[in-house]
Copies of this chain bind each other. A is one copy, B any other.
């Protein structure tokens, strides 16, 4: 511990994922004062048609486009 689990929409590149886990690990080390090596990070991709808010699937929202960050989430 600490163990960090990150859920996000698909579409990020391998290097974005490497950058994400590095920056999140640094943030945890900085805030909690633990050693980097005890920090684990796991990534989980959730498809837009498996994620809903207000009773509507993300994939069914008008103008829904779930590319990587440019279109945001």
Contacts and interface: CB of A to CB of B under 8 A. Distances in A.
Interface in A1-16: 1-9, 12, 14, 16
Interface string A20-60: 11111111101111111111111111100111111111011
7 contacts: A2-B6, A4-B5, A14-B59, A21-B57, A36-B55, A42-B50, A44-B50
Nearest to A57: B18
Contacts of A25: 52, 54-55
Contacts of A35: 72
B32 A69 contact: yes
Given A20-B28, A33-B70, 5 more contacts: A3-B7, A7-B42, A12-B32, A24-B24, A38-B72
